[in-house]
Amino acid sequence: MAEPLNKFNENITSETKNPTDVIQQGMYYNLFSEGMDISPNLSEVYELALAYYESKILTKKELIKNSAYFVKVDDEFTNHYFICTGDPVKIPEYSSSRLKSFFINNQFRTGYSTHGLFPYRGKFHPQMIKAIINIMGLKPGNTILDPMMGSGTVPVEAALMGIKAIGVDSSPFCRFMAQAKCDALKIKHKCLDGLIDKYESIFSNFNSCPKKINVQKDLFFKNNQLSEESDSEKIFNLIFLAFLDSEGYAQRSKRKSHIEHFKSILERYITAVNKIAVVEKHLNITPVQTILQQGDARNLDVENNSIDGIIFSPPYSFAIDYLKNDLSHLKYFEKNISKLNKSMIGMRGKSLKEKYCIYLEDMDKVISECSRVLKKGRFCTIIIGTNDSQLSKALKIPKENVSGLNKVVIDIGLSKGLSHVRSLPRQIVGMANTMRQEYIVILKK
Ligand SMILES: C[S@@+](CC[C@H](N)C(=O)[O-])C[C@H]1O[C@@H](n2cnc3c(N)ncnc32)[C@H](O)[C@@H]1O
C-alpha cells in the first residue's frame, strides 16, 4: 500500500541541513538502534533490507542468538559473529588469489559452519537464508521445509538455529550431500583426530572397491573396525563427500593427482568440522535433528497444514542440468539416470518452448503442494531469477512482453490461496551466470 502523502512529506526537510551533521550521524543511525553493529562486508541493498527487518522483528536476545546480519548488540557479540570468525576456512595453498579473496570477503556470508563443504552450483547464501528464516517469524521448535534443498543450506542453517527442518530433493546425491553436512554439525571435536594419517588407505579403498555407496560404507566400517553406530556413519558420510569433492577437483584441475586433492580436501573438511564443534560447545548449541528425503517437490510426503515456513529456489527451464553436472557422483547412488530425469523440473521437453510449458505445469504443482502443507498465517519464500532474454527468444515474443519468473510464481501463488507480501530484488554477481537479477519473493498463506 502507498504511504500517505503527508507522512511521506514529513520526512523531507524544508530547510537545508548542515552536511557535516548529516554525514557524521551516518545512515545507520536512522535505521538501527544505537549499539547495533552490522556485519562487515555487507554491501548490497537487499542485505541492508534484511538486516533492517531483523532489527525490527527480533528481540535483543533473539538478535544475539540467531540474527544473520549483526555482529554485536549492546557490546555483546552475536552467535553469528562467533560462528564466522576464528580460523578462516582452510583452502589449498595453491588456490588462486581470486579464490582466497572470495573466502575472506564472504566470511560472514557463505564459508562458515559446514556450508563450505562441496561447491554445489546454485547454492544459497547461508547468511541470507538465516535472515529470511528470522523475518518469516520462525522460532526454535518450529519446522521449516525446503522442497528442493540441493546441497542443504536451509537444513544446515535451521539446525544451528534450533529449528527442525524437512529437506527434499529428487537427486539422491543431493540428499546424501545435505545429510553429510547436517551430520557433520554433530561430530564432536577431536573425533576426527588421526583420520588424516589414514588418508592413503581410505582413498585406495574408495577408489578400488565396487561403486555403490552401501558397499563402500560396509567396507569402510570393516577396514576401520567401526561398528555401524550413528557416529561412524556421520564420519563415513563426511569422508565420502570429501572423496566425491576430490573427484570433481581432479577432473577440473590436473595440478595435483586425485589422491593429493583428496588429502587437502579432507584436511579442509576436518578443519571446518572441528571449528563448528568448538563454537557449538562454547555457545551451547545443540544442532536440531533434520529429516532429509529423496522425493518430488510436486508430490510431497508431508502432512497438510504442518509446516511453519518454506524457503526454496527452483531450477530453471534454461539453466543448469543438475543431473548432467553431478553425473560422476550420481553413479554411486543411482544406476537409472533417465528415471531420475523424469522427476527433474526444468529438464523435460524437446524445444525450449515445450520445456517452458512443462516447467510452468511443474511449478504450479510445487506451489500448490507448498500451500497445502503450510500452516495458515505462515510464509513461503521463493528465490527465483529472471531470464527474460532467453524466454523472449524461446517464446518468440518481445522482451518487454515476457512475464518474469518472479511474477509467474506470484501469480501461481495467488491462484493457490497465497498472498504476495513483498519481493526484494537481488543482483547476481557470479561471473558465469546468465541471469543478472533474482528476487526474494515472500508469499503468505
Ligand atoms: C537451485 S537448486 C537448489 C539449491 C539449494 N537452494 C542449495 O542451497 O543448495 C534446485 C534443486 O532442485 C532439485 N529438483 C529438481 N526437480 C525437483 C523435484 N521435482 N523435486 C525436488 N527437487 C527437485 C535439483 O536437484 C536441485 O538440487
pLDDT at 1 exceeding the cut of 50: no
Confidence of residue 2 (pLDDT cuts 50, 70, 90): very low
pTM: 0.90
Least confident of 182-196, 208-222, 394-408, 428-442: 428-442
Question: How many A from CA of 33 to the centre of ligand 1?
Answer: 38
Least confident of 286-290, 338-342, 360-364: 338-342
Average pLDDT of the segment spanning 309-335: 82
Confidence of residue 435 (pLDDT cuts 50, 70, 90): low
pLDDT tens for each residue of 17-27 = 888 988 887 77
Give the domain ranges of the chain: 113-171+299-318+345-444, 195-283
Atom of ligand 1 nearest to the CA of 149: 5
Confidence of residue 91 (pLDDT cuts 50, 70, 90): low
Average pLDDT of the segment spanning 85-107: 56
Average pLDDT of the segment spanning 149-165: 97
Confidence of residue 226 (pLDDT cuts 50, 70, 90): low
Cα 148 to Cα 152: distance, rounded to the nearest angstrom: 9
User: Residue 158 in contact with residue 288, Cβ under 8 Å?
Assistant: yes
Half-sphere exposure of 194 (CA within 13 A, CB side): 3
Distances (CA, A) of 194 to 180, 235, 284: 20, 13, 26
Question: How many A from CA of 409 to the centre of ligand 1?
Answer: 16
Q: Residue 65's CB: how many other CB atoms inside 10 A?
A: 17
What's residue 361's pLDDT? 95
315 close to ligand 1 (CB < 6 Angstrom) = yes
123 close to ligand 1 (CB < 6 Angstrom) = yes
Helix or strand holding residue 164 (H, E) = strand 164-169
C-alpha cell at 261: 586433492
Comparison of pLDDT for 183 and 7, the residue scoring more: 183
359 close to ligand 1 (CB < 6 Angstrom) = no
Comparison of pLDDT for 33 and 159, the residue scoring more: 159
297 close to ligand 1 (CB < 6 Angstrom) = yes
Q: Residue 123's CB: how many other CB atoms inside 10 A?
A: 15
Average pLDDT of the segment spanning 28-48: 87
124 close to ligand 1 (CB < 6 Angstrom) = yes
Average pLDDT of the segment spanning 134-143: 97
pLDDT at 89 exceeding the cut of 50: no
171 close to ligand 1 (CB < 6 Angstrom) = yes
C-alpha cell at 48: 541492508
The CATH code of domain 113-171+299-318+345-444 reads: 3.40.50.150
279 close to ligand 1 (CB < 6 Angstrom) = no
Chain-wide mean pLDDT for the chain?
86
Most confident of 198-202, 223-227, 421-425: 421-425
Distances (CA, A) of 151 to 120, 182, 292: 6, 10, 11
